[in-house]
């Protein structure tokens, strides 16, 4: 091997140095276990492997179909997917700088020299033709290019995690919009039934008033109840239409939602969530993964900023054929070569390199704070979800009991009014209490379903417990 080629090989092997600081995952700024207390109930110690995808979590076939449509057509998902491809391309561009660039070039020129400029006093015509294979390579002795490549890689991986975060948010958004739409449809149905009851009661009071049995006050109260119910009925019709529009926007295309029947919020629409999983599960959340990848990218940028203080070495070489005649371009003896090494040593940059390193270190510190904030937000989301998981069960059951009592109260009040035992005011009070209990039960059940969906989202939207340890392990620098 020629000495020059041996030197190139040695220099190439030396290109593996790196000035990226050793990465250490910041300590979790939250407790190792979930909160405990009266609002949380008894958390079990479930640790067996579990893989709960959204298809398994949502048991309503219509909802699963809508979620699938949204995943295929939602514009936020398309933007997130395109962002991933963009960062993949940027990583490819940066990674390519680690390797030599090779180019093949051909050129030629032909010119005439006039008599008054020719050394011989006679006009001459000549030409030059070249066919060249060129190589250019920056030796990455101090790891600047590798640091930039690592930064681009981590940003690409962060974009992938961000795409999964958008997907989880979209799934939860479609489910919550679906439950809200169904709940308002149920509230509209209840209000319409109540309006019919109020109108029947008004007709009865009107007949009693015409024969002098009911008072003007009772007639006014009956009319007030009817108009109040009409106003509520118009309100719920508007909300149902707006909920439908919001759901259509999330789906990304027109879907025949009118073909979907009114869902019963009492159905077993969701699978049970394990509430005893370790807090390390937070490392499975895509938004936390994205935040950590951004932190690792900022850490890699410090290596590039450090390497900028050291010399940069470039190697440029070319080999080919040259001749004065095109026909002789590849003839024997026409070969030529050139080798041009270069070195650039920063001497005075007016503090630019120092400021660039300071900026990289400060950016890393900002990413650390953002990563810790993401964990704290995630921990609170899960803690709130666990509190709602326990308390909504009790609240919904209590509201069901109240609805049963209100129904009994209404039946008794109606019988006593028709037999003349009680006034119309008692019946009106029973009707209002029944309507309030019905509406509150629908709202509580919807809120319970939404809280379960939010807990599913807070836990990362699907996981395997056995993967938590691997996900929380310290990644290599």
Identify the CATH number of the domain in which residue 316 sits: 2.20.200.10
Same structural domain, 321 and 304: no
For residue 3, being part of any structural domain is answered with no
**Predicted pLDDT at 459:** 84
CATH number of the domain that residue 383 is part of: 1.20.1600.10
Tell me: pLDDT of 31 over 90: no
Question: Distance from CA of residue 379 to its chain's centroid?
Answer: 17
Same structural domain, 400 and 293: yes
Cα–Cα distances (Å) from 384 to 40, 322, 379, 381, in that order, read 9, 77, 9, 5
DSSP codes, 12-76 = HHGGG---PPPP-PPPPSS-SS---BTTTB------S-----HHHHB--HHHHHHHHHHHHH-HH
Tell me: pLDDT of 5 over 50: no
Residues of the chain with pLDDT > 70: what percent? Answer: 89
pLDDT in tens, 89-108: 999 999 998 899 999 988 88
Tell me: pLDDT of 246 over 70: yes
Cα angle: 44, vertex 50, 53; to 5 degrees: 120
**Predicted pLDDT at 463:** 52
What three-state secondary structure class fits 104? Answer: strand
pLDDT in tens, 317-345: 998 888 877 777 777 878 888 888 999 99
User: Phi/psi of residue 318, each to 5°?
Assistant: -150, 145
Task: Quote the CA–CA distance of 100 and 12 in Å, as a whole number.
Answer: 10
Domain count, the chain: 2
Task: Quote the CA–CA distance of 164 and 467 in Å, as a whole number.
Answer: 17
Question: What does the pLDDT average to over 39-64?
Answer: 70
Task: Quote the CA–CA distance of 145 and 139 in Å, as a whole number.
Answer: 9
For residue 73, being part of any structural domain is answered with yes
For residue 9, being part of any structural domain is answered with no
Cα–Cα distances (Å) from 234 to 187, 188, 195, in that order, read 11, 9, 11
For residue 477, being part of any structural domain is answered with no
Residue numbers of the domain that contains 110: 101-139+311-345
Task: Quote the CA–CA distance of 3 and 360 in Å, as a whole number.
Answer: 40
Give 435: exposed, middle or buried? Use CB within 10 Å, 0-12, 13-18, 19+: buried
Is 450:172 a contact under the CB 8 Å cutoff?
A: no
pTM: 0.83
Question: What does the pLDDT average to over 7-18?
Answer: 53
pLDDT in tens, 212-241: 888 888 889 889 999 999 999 999 999 999
pLDDT in tens, 261-302: 776 777 678 887 765 566 677 788 899 999 999 999 999 999
Same structural domain, 289 and 328: no
Is 158:403 a contact under the CB 8 Å cutoff?
A: no
Terminal C-alpha separation, the chain: 36
For residue 11, being part of any structural domain is answered with no
Same structural domain, 272 and 222: yes
Which has the closest alpha carbon to 438: 229, 211, 284, 213?
229
Element (H, E) at 138: strand 124-139
**Predicted pLDDT at 6:** 47
Tell me, what DSSP letter sits at residue 260? Answer: S
Same structural domain, 166 and 239: yes
Tell me: pLDDT of 10 over 90: no
User: Phi/psi of residue 246, each to 5°?
Assistant: -65, -40
Question: What does the pLDDT average to over 154-168?
Answer: 94
């Amino acid at each position: 091997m020629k000495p020059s080629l041996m030197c190139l090989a040695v220099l190439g092997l030396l290109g593996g140095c790196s000035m990226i600081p050793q990465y250490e995952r910041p300590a979790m700024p939250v407790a190792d276990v979930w909160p405990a207390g009266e609002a949380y109930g008894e958390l079990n110690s479930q640790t067996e492997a579990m893989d709960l995808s959204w298809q398994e979590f949502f048991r309503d076939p219509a909802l699963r179909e809508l979620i699938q449509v949204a995943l295929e057509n939602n514009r936020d998902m398309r933007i997130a997917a395109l962002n991933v491809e963009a960062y993949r391309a940027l990583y490819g561009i940066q990674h390519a700088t680690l390797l030599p660039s090779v180019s093949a070039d051909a050129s030629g020129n032909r010119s005439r020299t006039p008599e008054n400029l020719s050394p011989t006093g006679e006009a001459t015509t000549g030409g030059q033709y070249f066919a060249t294979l060129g190589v250019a390579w920056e030796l990455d002795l101090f790891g600047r290019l590798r640091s930039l490549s690592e930064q681009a890689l981590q940003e690409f991986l962060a974009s992938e995690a961000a795409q999964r975060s958008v997907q989880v948010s979209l799934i939860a958004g479609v489910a919550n919009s679906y439950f809200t739409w169904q709940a308002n449809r149920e509230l509209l149905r209840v209000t319409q039934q109540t309006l019919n009851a109020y109108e029947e009661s008004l007709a009865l009071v009107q007949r009693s008033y015409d024969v002098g049995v009911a008072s003007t006050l009772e007639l006014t109260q009956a009319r007030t109840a009817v108009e109040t119910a009409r106003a509520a009925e118009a309100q719920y019709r508007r909300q149902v239409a707006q909920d439908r529009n919001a759901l259509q926007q999330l789906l990304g295309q027109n879907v025949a939602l009118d073909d979907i029947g009114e869902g019963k919020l009492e159905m077993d629409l969701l699978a049970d969530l394990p509430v005893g999983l370790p807090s390390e599960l937070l490392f499975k959340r895509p938004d936390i993964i994205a935040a950590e990848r951004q932190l690792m990218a900022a850490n890699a940028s410090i290596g590039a900023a450090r390497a900028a203080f050291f010399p940069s070495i470039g190697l440029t070489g070319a080999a080919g054929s040259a001749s004065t005649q095109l026909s002789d371009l590849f003839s024997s003896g026409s070969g030529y070569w050139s080798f041009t090494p270069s070195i650039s040593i920063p001497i005075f940059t007016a503090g630019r390199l120092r400021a660039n390193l300071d900026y990289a270190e400060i950016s890393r510190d900002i990413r650390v704070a953002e990563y810790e904030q993401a964990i704290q937000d995630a921990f609170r989301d899960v803690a709130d979800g666990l509190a709602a998981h326990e308390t909504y069960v009790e609240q919904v059951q209590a509201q069901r009991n109240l609805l049963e009592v209100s129904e009994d109260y209404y039946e008794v009040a109606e019988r006593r009014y028709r037999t003349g035992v009680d006034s119309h005011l008692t019946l009106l009070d029973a009707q209002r209490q029944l309507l309030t209990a019905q509406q509150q039960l629908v709202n509580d059940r919807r809120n319970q379903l939404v809280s379960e969906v939010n807990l599913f989202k807070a836990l990362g939207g699907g996981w395997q417990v056995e993967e938590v340890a691997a996900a929380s392990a310290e990644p290599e620098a």
